[in-house]
A and B are shown apart, each in its own frame.
Chain A
Amino acid sequence: DQQVKQNSPSLSVQEGRISILNCDYTNSMFDYFLWYKKYPAEGPTFLISISSIKDKNEDGRFTVFLNKSAKHLSLHIVPSQPGDSAVYFCAASEWDDKIIFGKGTRLHILP
């Protein structure tokens, strides 16, 4: 049973435009959500997180939006840059418990 779902295996976006990565979850007990970025042959790097008491968190070019009623979150990257090309993982946990990851979305930033 996949509790965190990233339904788009890949996404291509023009440099300078907005990248929107989506994620759905099924476990209503999840109350902490994270996004990680991964380059080939490296470990995932933490990007940004949001707790369930908020609906938006922003850090520079990265913004995460949470819609609890829809069990949906998204990561917005604006403007998209070449170095943003990577695999992005959505993840969730029940506050202090282990973190469950989605399968990832590969983002290609086109010149």
Chain B
Amino acid sequence: DTGVSQNPRHKITKRGQNVTFRCDPISEHNRLYWYRQTLGQGPEFLTYFQNEAQLEKSRLLSDRFSAERPKGSFSTLEIQRTEQGDSAMYLCASSLAGESGNTIYFGEGSWLTVV
């Protein structure tokens, strides 16, 4: 399977703990996106990378959130000092910049529950 891969699929953590999610994009894709989805909402943009450069961060992304893509391949999203409001599905997507339009392909998501 050469689709977008996310780990872990599910994470339950206590409030105040740190969590990290990993995303492996489609191999030839140079762009990688992080979105967050809560119940009844569409995916909300968090941040994206082109190769290893982080090109944009949403104002939704507080200082407790940090994302990296050190070698331009996989990416990690870390949430420090988790809060109950961080409970959501965290979605990773990838695309090939320069193609006609910009179609992104999602992974299966990582569920976070903060208790």
Measured CB to CB, the residues of A under 8 A from B are 4, 6, 9, 32, 34, 36, 41-46, 49, 51, 89, 91, 93, 95-104
Pairs across A and B, CB under 8 Å, 5 listed: A6-B42, A95-B101, A95-B102, A100-B45, A103-B40
Do A51 and B100 touch (CB < 8 A)?
yes
Interface residues of B in 42-88 (CB under 8 A from A): 42-45, 48, 56
Tell me the bound Cα distance from A41 to B109 in angstroms.
Answer: 8
Q: Is the CB of B109 within 8 A of A43?
A: yes
- Tell me whether chain B's interface is mostly helix, strand or loop, or mixed: loop
A44-B91, A96-B97 known; A101 vs B42 contact (CB < 8 Å): yes
Instruction: Give chain A nearest CB distance to B81 CB in angstroms.
Output: 26
B104 touches A99 (CB 8 A): yes
Residue of B6, B41, B98, B102 contacting most chain A CB atoms (<10 Å) = B102
**Separation of A103 and B42 alpha carbons in the complex (Å):** 4
